[in-house]
Amino acid sequence: MGLAVECNALVKDFGDVRALDGLSFQVKNGEIYGLIGPNGAGKTTALRIVSTLLLPTSGSVKVFGQDVVDDASEIRRVISYLPEEAGAYKNLSGYEYLEFMAKFTTEDKEVIKESVDVAARISGLEERLKDKVKTYSKGMKRRLLVARALMTKPKLAVLDEPTSGLDVLHSVHVRGLIKQYVENQGVTVLLSSHNMLEVEHLCDRVALIDKGKIVAEGSPAELKKSVNASNLEEVFAKVVGFV
């Protein structure tokens, strides 16, 4: 099994602020890997670097063996990134938005149509896709964006808090879809989350990040065992040290 993401001694400075401080982790092909950690831990920064939006200050990140600095355009062809706080073009309809996005990955009309259909199913928006995005609620917009991130069957989906803003039912729906996608389509997922329950059910492996460094890594079961905790929330509290 090859590596989807290989992050090595990654450092990122924003002026005087060190957001990532020697972060290293590896995501295997076909797994769901979660980054969890308190606010400001550096999750979003790490995902943005993997997605070629930000440049590392030092260290290296490889996606399917290609370097985020030197081969950014190759990486962009195989990933899709769902930002933590994202919007869609408000004067386009949901369909128009999905079609616009699908056209970047292929020119084949059939494939575009297929992608949009997939997205319609994932989002569960149905008839509302004909309406302008500006008429959507926050959760509807999030579902549209999650759908667009998955519809093109990227080799790696980078999802920054995919279920933030979704109600319980839709969170469960989206989680189920992500899991199903990884199993059926061979998609690799790198995600971040605050929701321990979500991470525990969804992720094959997780990394606990604090102040830009990994403080614990492993499968949810391994982590619980190592610190003798009954759930990930407890692991988190013990490792970060506020019990």
Partner 1 sequence: MFKGLFNIIVKEVKELVRDPKILLGMIIVPLIMFPLMGFAIQTSMETAEESMRSISIAVMDLDEGPVAENLTNFLIALNVIIVEVDYLNFTEAVNYVQQLNVTGLVVIPSGFSNNITEGLKAELDVYTVFRGGGIVESTSSSMISALFETFEEGLVVQKVGEKFPETRETVLNPIEMSEKSIIKGKPVNVNPSVLFGLMVLQSTGMPVGIMMLLIFAMQLAATSVASEKEEKTLETLLTLPINRFTILAGKLTGSIVVAVIGAAAYIVGFNYYMSSFMGMMPTEIGVDLATIGLAPTPISYLLLGVSLFVSLLSALALAISISIFAEDVRGAQALVGPLSMLLVFPMIIMMFTDVYALPFPLMIVLLAIPFTHPMLASKVAFTGDYLTAVIGIAYVSIFTIVVLYIAARLFGTEKILTAKLKFRKLRFRKLKK
51 binds, among ligand ATP, partner 1, Mg ion, none (CB under 5 to 8 A by kind): partner 1
| Tokens linked to 150 | 């998955």
Residues that bind Mg ion (CB under 5 A): 43-44, 84
CA 80 – CA 73 distance, rounded (Å) = 12
Q: Which of positions 18-57 make contact with partner 1 (CB under 8 A)? A: 48, 51-55
Looking at residue 11, its amino acid is V
204 binds, among ligand ATP, Mg ion, partner 1, none (CB under 5 to 8 A by kind): none
CA 186 – CA 44 distance, rounded (Å) = 24
Out of 20, 32, 88, 157, the only residue in the binding site for partner 1 (CB under 8 A) is 88
**Least Cβ distance, residue 120 to ligand ATP (angstroms):** 29
DSSP 170-211: HHHHHHHHHHHHHHHH--EEEEEES-HHHHHHH-SEEEEEET
Asked if 135 touches partner 1 (CB under 8 A), the answer is: no
By C-beta, is 19 or 98 nearer to ligand ATP? 19
Q: Classify 17 as helix, strand or coil.
A: strand
Do residues 95 and 115 lie in contact, with contact meaning Cβ atoms separated by under 8 Å? Answer: no
Out of 26, 29, 66, 105, the only residue in the binding site for partner 1 (CB under 8 A) is 105
CB atoms within 10 A of CB 179: 15
Asked if 108 touches partner 1 (CB under 8 A), the answer is: no
By C-beta, is 138 or 225 nearer to partner 1? 138
**Least Cβ distance, residue 100 to Mg ion (angstroms):** 26
- Each residue 55-74 as x (binds partner 1 by CB under 8 A) or -, in order, gives x-----------------x-
Residue with tokens 């059910």: 201
CA 216 – CA 208 distance, rounded (Å) = 5
Asked if 184 touches partner 1 (CB under 8 A), the answer is: no
Of 53, 30, 41, whose CA–CA distance to 216 is shortest? 41
Residues that bind ligand ATP (CB under 6 A): 14, 17, 19, 37, 39-45, 84
| Tokens linked to 58 | 């030092």
Phi/psi for 35 (5° steps) reads -105, 125
By C-beta, is 27 or 208 nearer to partner 1? 27
Asked if 101 touches partner 1 (CB under 8 A), the answer is: yes
Size of the site for partner 1 (CB under 8 A): 33
Output the CA angle 216-45-19, nearest 5 degrees: 75
Residues that bind partner 1 (CB under 8 A): 14-15, 48, 51-55, 73, 76-77, 79-83, 85-92, 96, 100-101, 103-105, 107, 132, 145
